[in-house]
Structure formats: C-alpha cells, structure tokens
Amino acid sequence: MGAIADQLAEGLDIRRGTGVATVGPRAVSLESGEQLRADAVVVATAGLVDEPLHGWNGVACVYYDAPQSPVPGAWLVLNGEGGPVNNLCVPSEVASGYAPPGRSLVSLTILGAGDPDLGEVERQLGSWFGRAVADWRHLRTYRLPRALPAWPVGAATEQPVRLAAGLYACGDHREHPSLNGALASGRRAASAVLADAS
C-alpha cells in the first residue's frame, strides 16, 4: 500500500503532519493559519467537504504472534460459516519483515468497532487450526469505527468530482468502498482537473 502513495508523491512537495482546517475553490487553510492557493484543490478524504452518504462500517483488527503460519502462502481466508472472525491473513507470508525470524504475524478482522471477545475469537481459531492456536500470543487489537464507508446494495455510485470551479473531491466514499473505488475516483478527479486546465 505504501508503494502506491510513494508513486503518487514522486516529484511533489509533500507536507506531512500538517492539519487542514478548511478547503475551498483554489484555496486551502492549514490549522497553523497558513493559507495556500492553487489552480485546483483535490480533496481525497472524507470529512472536509463531505461524508459517506450511508455512514461508516467499523471493524476490529486483531493481531497474533504465532510460531508458524496457520496458512502458508499469500492467502486471504474468508469465513463463510459465521462466528466472530470475518477474515484472516498472515502478512509475514507476503513480507517476511513483518515478523521476527521464525515467527508469523497473523491478522484477523472482526466486523463492528466494539471490543471483540478474544475467548470466542480464539475458540473459533482453534476449531480451524487446532491446538497450535494455544501457542499464539495476542499482540494488539485496533478498533476502527470508520474503517470503510457503508454501501447498501443498490446504492448509487460515481458522485460528481467537481464541487465548484477549482475544487474537486474523490475517494472510495464517493465511488464504492474499496481500493479499486478509491483509485477509480482519483482517476476521475485527475481527468476533470486536466480537462478544466486545458
């Protein structure tokens, strides 16, 4: 994921850790009070000019240290039988540096942003992977109440990217909630900026 941001940032002057207070056509006000002007302002996040039409879905991400991978290879395990775990993957199977040598990082997602019942989670994992789960060590749980825009079946897609002359918006909350939606929305916003500049 970081490689995408690095490619987009190539050749640009990037400011990190700089809060944005407001945006408008051709203008950005930073929390520091600094005012920035540009031919085009593209807002690529929810919260500044809009929010998802249907709200947010929350998740909890739970991480375990394991002596070995329960699923060797670059797989995403989807749960089709119920229970707390929605999906599971082993990031260290894709990038070995995500775990110490000889160990595995296991990541799982629980739907809803509440605190998951780890006892129930570990019982389900034990039913999938057997007694080896007893040797896993819980590392951390992250609650993400705004993990992904809610998107009811049949919801309209492709909201307009032009908000005003010189002000554009994009993001997966404006297209469909996914990496593909975010990239498609960004591509549409970039096309609009280029068309308006010519």
The matching CATH number, chosen from 3.40.50.300, 3.50.50.60, 3.40.50.20, 3.40.50.2000, for 2-54+153-197 is 3.50.50.60
Looking at domain 56-149, its CATH architecture is Alpha-Beta Complex (3.90)
Distance, first Cα to last Cα, the chain: 32
Higher pLDDT residue, 45 or 9?
A: 45
* 42-89 pLDDT, tens digit each: 999 998 999 998 899 999 999 999 999 999 999 999 999 999 999 999
Q: Are 155 and 149 in contact (CB under 8 A)?
A: no
Residue 104 has pLDDT above 70, yes or no: yes
The pair of structure tokens assigned to 60 is 């909890």
Which pLDDT does position 1 carry in this prediction? 67
Residue range(s) in the chain whose domain bears CATH number 3.90.660.50: 56-149
* 143-195 pLDDT, tens digit each: 999 999 998 888 777 789 999 999 999 999 998 888 898 999 999 999 999 99
Residues near 190 by beta carbon (within 8 Å), at least 6 away in sequence: 42
Residue range(s) in the chain whose domain bears CATH number 3.50.50.60: 2-54+153-197
